[in-house]
Amino acid sequence: MKTLEEFEALTDTEEYFDFFDLEYDERLVYVKRFHIMKKYGEMIEKAQEQENMSDEKKLDFYKFSLISVYKNFENGYSPSAADVWSMYDNPSACSSCSTSSSCNDLEEVSSGTHACASQPSLSFN
């Protein structure tokens, strides 16, 4: 039996499909990987908000969610331009921040462009 801990260790899109023993079109996953995982992540967040859900129920929900998201893309769902570009509204300023607004060391480096002051600067000298 698969565990929630095993699920939480997954990193690649294909690993999620393999974990649940789901068939998938490798070309579709290759092309739509980002969009599939973005929508899937949104659905996982909803399940994580449920405090009284057992690990088994969560895994069932995660599997159903992956099937649902994948089938939407398989049937021709295409995110709108607004959905695609909205991720660029608040890009991550550093690797440790999930959004630029959550970074405590954020500085404006030039007209609206921000960078995390705690990150080392790159030098090619």
Tokens of 15: 């690993």
- Average pLDDT of every residue of the chain: 74
Can you tell me the distance from the alpha carbon of 97 to that of 113, in angstroms, rounded to the nearest whole number?
Answer: 16
Terminal Cα distance for the chain, rounded: 53
Question: Which of the pair, 20 or 95, is modelled with greater confidence?
Answer: 20
Q: How confident is the model at residue 74 (pLDDT cuts 50, 70, 90)?
A: confident
Q: Provide the CA 124 distance to its chain's centre, in angstroms.
A: 32
- Look at residue 105 in the predicted model and tell me its pLDDT: 54
Per-residue b/e over 2-12, b at no fewer than 16 CB within 10 Å? eeeeebeeeee
Task: Give the tens place of pLDDT for each residue, 39-73.
Answer: 999 989 888 888 888 899 999 999 999 999 999 88
Q: What is the pLDDT of residues 91-117, one digit of tens each?
A: 444 444 444 444 555 555 444 444 555
pLDDT score, position 50 = 81
63 token code pair: 């599997």
Cβ atoms of 61 and 47 within 8 Å: the answer is yes
Average confidence (pLDDT) over 70-80: 74
Residues 6+ apart with CB under 8 A from 38: 87
pTM, two decimal places: 0.62
Is pLDDT above 60 for 125? no
